[in-house]
Structure 1
Amino acid sequence: MSLPLFLGSEIYRGSSYGDWHPLRVPRVSTVMDLARAMGWLPAAQYLTSPRAKPQALTIWHTPDYVAALERAEADQAVSEAVRARHGLGTVANPIYTEMFRRPATAAGASLLAGELLAQGGMIYHPGGGTHHGFPDRAGGFCYLNDPVLAILSLRRAGAARIAYVDIDAHHMDGVQHGLAGDPQSLLISVHEEKRWPFTGTLDDDGGGNCLNLPVPRGLNDTEMAAIRDRLILPALAAFAPDAIVLQCGADAVTEDPLSRLTLSNNAHWDVVRGLMALGCPRLLVLGGGGYNPWSVGRLWTGVWATLNGHEIPDRLPDTAEGVLRSLRWERPPQAGRIPPEHWFTTLRDARRPGQLRTEVADRLALLAQRPAARGIIPE
């Protein structure tokens, strides 16, 4: 199999949702810089993401919404009617300079990934993973839904059965909206319970093809390993997909400000490694949530190392350490914290094991009995 490809863009470097928005922090650019500093991103493995043309987005998004998003960027303003209908110009989905170009770049990479994977391979697209977008509306920092666009592109390029796995701290509401009940798709979401968008309950099977696992706060590495080994990997093996899409949101780690889960980045890398071991011919790994620049940059760079089989050193070289020391995260005074030294000098967190709580084990046992967990999706 050919080496994995990294889809990136310089648009992420200078683009920000606003001074105090959670997505003001550098993320994709940090991964690009760290991977290059480690010698892990040669030119032959890097492709610049294209920007999706408006017409290409309408394979799932409505033409009216795409046009409204373009106009909002051009005018840097929206009417009250547009705000109410399309969710643009809100606190979560603000007006900013690249509000069409940036998500259209993420969408373009996901559409391209489907085409590039026609003959198989692995692609990493950390700028993707915007799983809260709806056909006619922005939601949860997501103006477009590039995971759905990736799945549609994969299908158009010949992948019949597609599995989507989402380990972001927040439920994949937009992806489920787009693919619920699709007999050729298996959707698995592991997310924090009682957290926005408050969807994806344990009894929500999305018409038979969704395995939703809401987890309690404090989820630890031991519990995530059980979820991987008792639910995710067996369900994928039974479904036997032609392609797997992993949304690898980085907001379920202890350091993230927008969840109350306590994973280390090892848990995410172990999921990636487990999916690779299944031998599926096509694997696309997307980014997603993650709002601490150091934890996101370290986690997502480790994902790229895992895909390539690179050994993660105990201590970073000076060039990589310099990338992490150059990061800034301006926060309100009451949220201030001096970054610990290991945020600068390492990629790997200390593992965070713990007890496998009864409530997690019971939910896993319940989901394992669902037809979808045994590869059976109703027509």
Structure 2
Amino acid sequence: MTTPIFFGSEVYRGSSYGRWHPLRIPRVPTVMDLARAMGWLPTAQYRTSPRAKPAALTLWHTPEYLDALSHAEAVQQVDEAIRDRHGLGTVSNPVFPEMYRRPATGAGASLLAGELLADGGVIYHPGGGTHHAFPDRANGFCYLNDPVLAILSLKRAGARRVAYIDIDAHHCDGVEHGFAGDPETLLISTHEERRWPFTGVLDEDGGGNCLNLPLPRGLNDSEMAEIRERLILPALAGFAPDAIVLQCGADAVEEDPLSRLALSNNAHFDILRGIMALGCPRLLVLGGGGYNPWSVGRLWTGIWATLNGHDIPDRLPPESEAALRALHWDGARAGRTPPAHWFTTIRDKPRPGPVRPEVAQRLAHLRERSAARGEMPEP
């Protein structure tokens, strides 16, 4: 695979979790439209995400849960027993017309990505990153756990050591459930402290292979740069993976309504560039959280530009600006009067700041723990 591959699907354009759900907004279609308007998504690099069949999903999910999920889509309702057992039909994971087809499409792309990366390469799957689902239960807007399926697929296709980095604002509880204690899988999660699902505390190491870094509100670009240079990249270098999965949830940026972190999208781009410089032969980049349509679309399009080495202009051309002006955000105060740069730029202005003592201390704690195990150099 000589050039990065982009997985997308029209199922994301024609489906929604419901009128008032945070995932009512368009996300993947915005990335597709904006990347094409920029001339960054030629046909040769685009692949339509396949829909995974239930048999393929049993690589991690239980047959009973998959039956319940597909049946709920077919009849468009669940009874109390199914809701209690499988988490379907809740406020977070509602019944909607594509409730199996949409997540199965995301899972299908992640499963196929593992196979396509058998001989190396780069794949971008912004519809992936649904990191909260459990084998027998929907959870946190996630019906299927495509990052877990991607890691399992990579290993089945020959990858021996897989590193999973998650920079979403929320802890990757489902992925940790899947791989805690696995010495051949490294998990690194940066996430906002005291935010749902309230897991991933500093000393939660998953049996030795998990680096959880809960972060205070207002996390700035300078602090994330410290985390990148002192934790993420050294840990990856020490682990020496032959496959890397990056979940780049867009909810860690300042404009997101469901978190209180304050990053610019430059932090995500810089982490990705650092990972790419390591030269790992297999790289899969997933989407994840993100609930402001403009900040998600701009960030994830910038990720695609970074993967391809495209220069991001200071001002978008008219066709690209039109793709962003076509967005709307019903019921959201910020969507009533969006600032001009949400339409005219991809890259945010940097948001530097002081590295607060609590961030430095937690970072030092994780480095010391990893150094004691021989996983990275002494701090």
Alignment correspondent of 2:109? 109
Match of 2:327 in 1: 327
Alpha carbons 1:186, 1:239 under 8 Å: kept: yes
Find the aligned partners of 1:110 and 1:374 in 2 and give their Cα distance.
32
Could you report, residue by residue, the CA deviation over 1:46-87 in whole angstroms, capped at 9, with x for unpaired residues? 000000000000010000000000000001000100000000
Q: Please say if 1:60 is aligned against 2:60.
A: yes
Q: Distance between the aligned counterparts of 2:68 and 2:281, measured in 1?
A: 38
Cα offset for 1:161?
0.2
- Partners of 1:113 and 1:55 in 2: CA distance: 17
Q: Match of 1:251, SS?
A: helix
Residues 223-281 of structure 1 show CA distances to partners (whole Å, capped at 9, x for unaligned) of 00000000000000000001000000000001000000000000000011000000000
Structure 1 CA distance, aligned partners of 2:365 and 2:13? 43
Q: Where do residues 216-235 of structure 1 align in structure 2 (5 Å cutoff)?
A: 216-235=216-235
Counterpart AA for 1:81: A
Matches within 5 A, 1:17-166: 17-166=17-166
Q: Is the 8 A contact 1:166 1:172 kept in 2?
A: yes
- Structure 1: which amino acid aligns with 2:113? A
> Equivalent residues in 2 for 1:239-258 (5 A)?
239-258=239-258
CA distance in 2, matches of 1:271, 1:9: 26
Q: Displacement, 1:336? A: 5.7
Structure 1: give runs of 5+ residues left out of the alignment. Answer: none
Deviation at 1:369, TM superposition (A): 1.5
Partners of 2:112 and 2:120 lie apart in 1 by 13
In the alignment, does 2:333 pair up with 1:367?
no
**What is the CA–CA distance in structure 1 between the aligned matches of 2:289 and 2:81, rounded to whole Å?**
29
**What is the aligned partner in structure 1 of residue 206 from structure 2?**
206
User: Given that residues 236 and 375 in structure 1 are in contact (C-alpha distance below 8 angstroms), is that contact kept between their aligned partners in structure 2?
Assistant: no
User: Partners of 1:267 and 1:374 in 2: how far apart?
Assistant: 28
Return the alpha-carbon distance in structure 2 between the equivalents of residues 345 and 153 of structure 1. 39
Cα distance, 1:371 vs structure 2: 3.2
For residues 158-177 of structure 1, what are the structure 2 equivalents within 5 Å? 158-177=158-177
Q: Where does residue 7 of structure 1 map in the other structure?
A: 7
Q: Distance in 1 between matches of 2:50 and 2:174?
A: 23
C-alpha distance in structure 2 between counterparts of 1:338 and 1:90, whole Å: 31
In structure 2, what is the Cα distance between the partners aligned to 1:263 and 1:332? 20
How far residue 331 of structure 1 moved from its aligned partner, in angstroms, is: 1.1
Look up the equivalent residue of 1:248 and give its one-letter code: C
The corresponding residue for 1:357 is 356
Paired with 1:42 and 1:135, the residues of 2 have a C-alpha distance of 36
Conservation of the 8 A alpha-carbon contact between 1:235 and 1:374: no
| Alpha-carbon distance between aligned partners in 2 of 1:29 and 1:165, rounded to the nearest angstrom | 24
Q: TM-score, normalised by structure 2?
A: 0.98
Instruction: Name the residue aligned to 1:338.
Output: 337
Q: Does 1:309 align with 2:298?
A: no
Residues in 1 aligned to 2:213 and 2:143: alpha-carbon distance in whole angstroms? 25
Give 1:332 deviation, angstroms: 5.3
Q: Distance in 2 between matches of 1:91 and 1:354?
A: 37
Contact 1:240 1:375 in 2 (8 A): no
**Contact preservation (8 Å) 1:239, 1:374:** no
Letter matched to residue 346 of structure 1: T
Q: For 1:319 and 1:204, locate their aligned partners in 2 and report how far apart those are by CA, in whole Å.
A: 47
Measure, in 2, the Cα distance between the counterparts of 1:98 and 1:307.
Answer: 30
Secondary structure (helix, strand or coil) at the match of 1:14 reads coil
Aligned residues of 1:186 and 1:209 also touching (Cα < 8 A): yes
Give 3-state SS (helix, strand or coil) of 2:115's partner: helix
The residue identity in structure 2 corresponding to 1:63 is P
Q: Is the 8 A contact 1:126 1:286 kept in 2?
A: yes
Name the CA distance, whole Å, in 2 between partners of 1:289 and 1:124: 15
Corresponding residue for 1:277?
277
Q: Any conservation in 1 of the 2:115–2:153 contact (CA below 8 Å)? A: yes
* Contact map agreement 2:329 2:335 (CA 8 A) in 1: no
Q: Which amino acid aligns with 1:358?
A: P
CA distance in structure 1 between the aligned counterparts of 2:94 and 2:213, rounded to whole angstroms? 30
* Comparing 366-375 and 300-309, the one that deviates more: 366-375
Aligned equivalents of 2:375, 2:122: Cα separation in 1 = 23
For the residues of structure 1 that align with 2:112 and 2:227, how far apart are their CA atoms? 31
For residues 321 and 332 of structure 2, the distance between their equivalents in structure 1, rounded to whole angstroms, comes to 26
Q: Counterparts of 1:25 and 1:177 in 2: how far apart (Å)?
A: 29
SS at match of 1:189: strand
Give the Cα separation in 2 of the matches to 1:62 and 1:115. 22
Task: Tell me which residue corresponds to 2:347.
Answer: 348
What SS does the corresponding residue of 1:311 show, helix, strand or coil?
Answer: coil
Shift of 1:375: 2.9
Q: Using the alignment, how far apart are the partners of 1:94 and 1:165 within structure 2?
A: 28
Task: Report how many aligned residue pairs link the two structures.
Answer: 375
**Per-residue deviation, residues 76-122 of structure 1 (Å, max 9, x unmatched):** 00010000000000000000010000000000000000000000000
Provide the TM-score with structure 1 as the length reference. Answer: 0.98
- Counterpart-to-counterpart distance in 2, 1:332 and 1:236: 39
